Amino acid sequence: MQVLHVCSEMFPLLKTGGLADVIGALPAAQIADGVDVRVLLPGFPDIRRGIPDAHVVSRRDTFAGKISLLFGHYNGVGIYLIDAPHLYERPGSPYHDTNLYAYTDNVLRFALLGWVGCEMACGLDPFWRPDVVHAHDWHAGLVPAYLAARGRPAKSVFTVHNLAYQGMFYAKHMDDIELPWSFFNMHGLEFNGQLSFLKAGLYYADHITAVSPTYAREITEPQFAYGMEGLLRQRHLEGRLSGILNGVDEKIWNPESDLLLASRYTRDTLEEKAENKRQLQIAMGLKVNDKVPLFAVVSRLTNQKGLDLVLEALPGLLEQGGQLALLGAGDPVLQEGFLAAAAEHPGQVGVQIGYHEAFSHRIMGGADVILVPSRFEPCGLTQLYGLKYGTLPLVRRTGGLADTVSDSSLENLADGIASGFVFEDSKTVTPGRCLSSKTVTPGRCYARFGVLLCCGHGLRFGGLYNGRRWRWILAGKLPRNHTASCTIA
């Protein structure tokens, strides 16, 4: 079977979020499972620089201008690049300018991505043609629509990484992207009078996947579906909506081999994790003390991520002697709030505004607890990294967080399945109350880490990549009304 992934970013070539991490690992896992997999990406500058061997496969004159299709390899995965400098050769973010305004021609930039994904199934590369085209998030949402317009020359899968981002454009752009106007209706890609790339993927795909079983259920409900609940509920009833957990790429996230850590460790060498904590405290300007719990945040600073709750709970955590190390950027109000806390509590709160991939590894290796109190979280990778590094996740029970973290309740502790701290979406159970009993200590965190690894809960992509269920989906044989779970290996 030949599968083409179509997406806008891929770690480590270009990353703005968790989508890149998935695309950086899933194709390689599928190749190891015997699937012939390639990836199609826009020719953004960072991606072009990372694939210097890319050569021309085809040239076309398209609705978005003249383009070349390039092909090369990265880490053993075949990569197609759309070479269109007039669309993609821009500094900074692939989606917006330096003032954070979306590029005005994004409709063409990402319609082209979908069009090329479809044309690959029609012989754009005369030497390789996919049986399945797998589109990711709204940027690639038009792939299934173009395939439908061409008579479905290949099967399509559309993965929702975050339903909140929908790719909405004015209806007039239907004239610009070479799709029939007959597609612009409620039984198509129209949504609230606009052209929705996301709805195009949801409506025309042969199968839809979400990045966790719980999120697949949540997006059929109004509070999580952003108006798409009717369509998604119908796809669920048709057996065309599944949830499959993301996983961890162990080549990148593994405390035993992570060269970005001050000191590598396993459950048998936990004293080395303590050394990482000491180095992290020094780097963040915190008081060096191996007896106090060190909480961490590595996240975009937004209300969706629940970080206003962390600010609310912070005084109580600090009163109990805890420390906080934060790495992130986003909402100016939240940024100022955490910077003010750092100024008010020197030695207890350390804040770095921005994102640095290498430093995120150091935080994961040195902290005792990683905070992920998201209001919604399709899957979440941060808590998986925490489990891998013995840094216990504190999470809200939603989406993939609910699927991957078991609360340290007395029952779960007795059964040996506890893996972190979980609070409900209520005013009576909050992050602060989860920890108010002073039960979180470095020693207990390390003990939980030992139990996790003894029970086989060290996560890796090989363990969370569910080859059987992906093969079912790619072959169109998934049982009706099936919501996939994933066994932690």
56-94 CB burial, b ≥16 within 10 A, e <16: ebbeeebebeebbbbbbebeebbbbbbbbeebbebeeeb
Question: 245-254, 301-310, 444-453: which has the minimum mean pLDDT?
Answer: 444-453
* Higher-pLDDT residue of 478, 467: 467
- Residue 479 in any domain: the answer is no
Residue 363 and residue 377 in one domain: yes
Mean pLDDT along residues 385-398? 94
Q: Provide the domain count of the chain.
A: 2
Residue 450 and residue 384 in one domain: yes
How many residues make up the chain in this entry? Answer: 489
Binding-site annotation: residue ranges for ADP-alpha-D-glucose: 15
- Residue 401 in any domain: the answer is yes
Q: Reply yes or no: is the peptide bond before residue 130 cis, omega within 30 of 0.
A: no
Task: For tokens 């207990």, name the residue.
Answer: 444
Residue 407 and residue 286 in one domain: yes
Residue 209 and residue 283 in one domain: no
Question: How does pLDDT run across 53-76, given as a tens digit for each residue?
Answer: 999 999 999 999 999 999 999 999
- Residue 255 in any domain: the answer is no
- Residue 262 in any domain: the answer is no
Mean pLDDT across the chain: 89
Residue 168 and residue 22 in one domain: yes
Q: Is residue 126 helix, strand or coil?
A: coil
Mean pLDDT along residues 105-118? 99
Residue 219 and residue 273 in one domain: no
Residue 443 and residue 469 in one domain: no
Tokens found for residue 305: 């991520």
- Residue 484 in any domain: the answer is no
State the CB neighbour count (10 A cutoff) for residue 280. Answer: 25
Residue 132 and residue 235 in one domain: yes
pLDDT at 248: 86
pLDDT at 459: 34
Residue 198 and residue 332 in one domain: no
* Stated pTM of the model: 0.86
pLDDT at 91: 83
- Structural contact between residues 374 and 394, judged by C-beta atoms closer than 8 angstroms: no
Complete edge-to-edge strand list for the sheet that includes strand 207-210: 55-62, 65-74, 77-83, 36-42, 2-6, 132-136, 155-160, 207-210, 241-243
Q: Which residues share a beta bridge with 40?
A: 6, 80
Binding-site annotation: residue ranges: 15
pLDDT at 181: 98
pLDDT at 433: 55
Q: Could you list the residue range(s) of the whole structural domain that residue 288 is in?
A: 267-459
Tokens found for residue 374: 């998201």
Residue 324 and residue 390 in one domain: yes
* Residues above pLDDT 70, as percent of the chain: 88
Residue 292 and residue 431 in one domain: yes
Q: What is the CATH number of the domain that holds 106?
A: 3.40.50.2000
Mean pLDDT along residues 473-488? 48
**Beta-carbon contacts of residue 88 (< 8 Å; ≥ 6 apart):** 42, 43, 44, 45, 82, 94, 109
Question: How does pLDDT run across 319-361, given as a tens digit for each residue?
Answer: 989 999 999 999 999 999 999 999 999 999 999 999 899 999 9
Mean pLDDT along residues 272-296? 96
Is the model's pLDDT at 485 over the cut of 50?
Answer: no
Residue 199 and residue 274 in one domain: no
Distance set, CA 41 to CA 146, 198, 274, 364 (Å): 17, 18, 41, 30
- Residue 338 in any domain: the answer is yes
- Structural contact between residues 205 and 138, judged by C-beta atoms closer than 8 angstroms: no
- Residue 449 in any domain: the answer is yes
